[in-house]
Amino acid sequence: MKKTKKQLAIAMASCLMVGALAFGGTMAYLTDTEGATNTFTVGKVQIDLEEPGYPGNTDDSVKNLVPNQEIEKDPQVENTGVNDAIVFMTVEVPRGNVTAVATDGTKGTKQNQDLFWFKDTADAQGTFANKWDADWIELTAKETHEDTDTTSKYIFAYKTKLAKDAKTAPLFDKIQLKNVIEGEIAAGEAKNIVVNAYAIQAAEVLEGESTDLTDTLTDETLGKIYDVYFKQNGDAAANTVQKDAATNNAKDLSGTDR
């Protein structure tokens, strides 16, 4: 009986030691873990060139023009994308070696010149000058107006960043065929005015490691941003756009949803 009690005591002591070892085994480094998934989406720059007042190329009012005739034409740009955009517009105008005539019939000097005036809606018919909207900056350093050209190319940048769903002011409101000597422009000859619009993101267009050109939209920085656009997308001199405003993007030329 004494032997049995002794054996029991040894067995109990062994259990206590095992329990102590088991408890001691949990005393390792304290650890924890946690994670986060950050979801980002890529933005979208998209614009629509609209001329809500223009009657259309098939309308009788744009056929068989006479000198001094005015036609409503009001190109503007709508941001139909997601991100703010910086917007440019170019206007390519037909030129000819013609003699302009004043309202009283006085002949001017025959010279290579634009065949159209670009005017504000408030300009009288006898106002013979281009009138561009004040919200657009003319980038004259990028333009071409050589006497040997068959066209003049005017280039503009919108003064402010264009927010989502916002529209620019129209660059001009109407055009007017110049009063030139009869026969100097062939009857029935089609003359095209080509308007193109371009857009680039309105943030983080970088000139250097720490220079964001979009921070200050001056003539100089807008000119640089214009160059950045065409370095990425092709030759600016070609003035070629892949999308026709009458058939592409979210809205048609009149500004109607597709």
- pLDDT tens digits, one per residue of 61-86: 999 999 999 999 999 999 999 999 99
What are phi and psi for residue 199, nearest 5 degrees?
-140, 150
How far apart CA 75 and CA 173 sit, in angstroms, is: 8
With a cut of 80, say whether residue 142 has pLDDT above it. yes
User: For 224-243, how does the pLDDT look when each residue is reduced to its tens digit (9 = 90+)?
Assistant: 999 999 998 887 666 566 66
pLDDT for 191 beyond 60: yes
Of residues 249 and 51, more confidence is placed in 51
Average the pLDDT over 38-61 and give the result: 91
- What would the mean pLDDT of 113-119 be, rounded to a whole number? 96
- In contact, 114 and 152? CB cutoff 8 Å: yes
- Give the C-alpha separation, 49 to 254, whole Å: 9
| pLDDT score at 21 | 46
Q: By percentage, how much of the chain surpasses pLDDT 90?
A: 61
Residue pair 203/213 in contact by the 8 Å Cβ criterion: no
φ/ψ bin of 255: left (φ > 0), alpha (ψ from -120 to 50), beta (otherwise) = left
pLDDT tens, residue by residue, 14-33: 554 555 445 455 577 887 88
pLDDT at 106 over 50: yes
Mean pLDDT of 191-213: 91
Of 39-43, 82-86, 138-142, the poorest mean pLDDT is in 39-43
For tokens 């597709």, the residue is 258
Label the pairing between strands 136-138 and 47-50: unpaired
Q: How confident is the model at residue 34 (pLDDT cuts 50, 70, 90)?
A: confident
Whole-Å CA distances, 100 to 43, 53, 97, 113: 50, 27, 10, 9
The b-or-e profile of 141-175 (16+ CB within 10 A means b, else e) is: ebeeeeeeeebbbbbbbbbebbeeeebbebbbbbb
Angstrom CA distances, 145 to 59, 128, 157, 196, 237, stand at 30, 18, 18, 17, 13
Greater confidence, 159 or 1?
Answer: 159
H/E stretch holding 214: none
Q: In this predicted model, which residue has the larger pLDDT, 146 or 125?
A: 125
In this predicted structure, the answer to whether residue 35 has a pLDDT above a threshold of 90 is no
**Using an 8 Å Cβ cutoff, are 122 and 143 in contact?**
no
pLDDT tier for residue 247 given thresholds of 50, 70 and 90: low
CB within 8 Å of 13: residues ≥ 6 apart: none
Query: Which pLDDT score, from 0 to 100, does residue 31 have?
Result: 76
Query: Does position 3 have pLDDT exceeding 70, yes or no?
Result: no
CA 198 to centroid of chain Cα atoms: 4
Report the alpha-carbon distance of residue 235 to residue 198 in Å, rounded: 13
CA–CA dist 244, 171 (Å, integer): 19
| Mean pLDDT taken over the chain | 86
3-state SS class at 137:
strand
What's residue 30's pLDDT?
81
